[in-house]
């Protein structure tokens, strides 16, 4: 489930929130080699598009086991 929102007062900035639920006995959400049973994760994201061809993104992914991951991107 993902929700995207553009901020009306600053249209170059977008936010996103998503919830992920996976089913299985050994699901590895963070590519760490540790598998979890039926894990749930929440993603928070922010993207900035100063010009139409360039977007900078930052995301934070938090798992229910306390493990987290941060990602930065440029497209």
List of E strands, the chain = 2-6, 13-21, 40-51, 54-63, 68-74
Count of residues in the chain: 75
**What tens digit of pLDDT does each residue of 15-63 get?**
999 999 999 999 998 888 888 999 999 999 999 999 999 999 999 999 9
The C-alpha atoms of residue 45 and residue 14 are separated, in whole angstroms, by: 8
DSSP 32: S
Which pTM does this prediction carry?
A: 0.82
């Amino acid at each position: 489930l993902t929700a995207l929102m553009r901020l009306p007062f600053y249209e170059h900035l977008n936010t996103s929130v998503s919830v992920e639920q996976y089913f299985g006995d050994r699901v590895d959400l963070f590519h760490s080699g540790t598998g979890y049973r039926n894990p749930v994760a929440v993603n928070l994201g922010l993207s900035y598009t100063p010009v139409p061809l360039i977007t900078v993104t930052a995301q934070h992914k938090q798992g229910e086991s306390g493990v987290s991951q941060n990602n930065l991107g440029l497209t």
